Amino acid sequence: MNIDIASEGFAAVGSAPRLSVVALLVRAGPQGLTTGEIQKKSGIPASTLAHHLKSLAEGRVITQVKNGRSMVSVANFDHLNALAAFLLEECCVDAGEGNENG
């Protein structure tokens, strides 16, 4: 994952309402939730929820699938794992720098 894609994903979850939606979708698992279910569980007004879902989809953090008359949102687990790995891929590589007693 490159830094541009990572920054888009992190920006997408960069607000409390969006992060709470992602948490709901992670808990829901691969079947996801309809927009109505997300609204009911989150308490986010429908008028702003659509905007948040659009931002999350554009950041590749969720996917959305039309199911009949409903829109189902699902956490993009592969992308979320890649974002976490991006943060941790160089964990502690510089930990020894400046600590030499030589």
Cα–Cα distance between 56 and 8 in angstroms, integer? 9
Is residue 34 within 8 A of residue 46, CB to CB? The reply is no
Contact 70, 35 (CB under 8 A): yes
> What pLDDT is recorded for position 49?
97
pLDDT over 70 percentage in the chain: 95
To 5 degrees, how large is the angle CA 26–CA 51–CA 35?
A: 50
pLDDT band at 97 (very low <50, low <70, confident <90, very high): confident
> Domain locations in the chain?
3-88
101 pLDDT above the threshold of 80: no
The residue with greater pLDDT, 102 or 3, is: 3
User: In CATH, what number does 3-88 get?
Assistant: 1.10.10.10
Please write the tens of the pLDDT for every residue from 40-76.
999 999 989 999 999 999 999 999 999 899 999 999 9
pLDDT at 1 over 70: yes
**Residue count of the chain:** 102
Separation CA 99–CA 10 (nearest Å): 32
The DSSP secondary structure of 14-83, one letter per residue, reads -SHHHHHHHHHHHHHGGG-EEHHHHHHHH---HHHHHHHHHHHHHTTSEEEEEETTEEEEEE-HHHHHHH
Q: How confident is the model at residue 102 (pLDDT cuts 50, 70, 90)?
A: very low
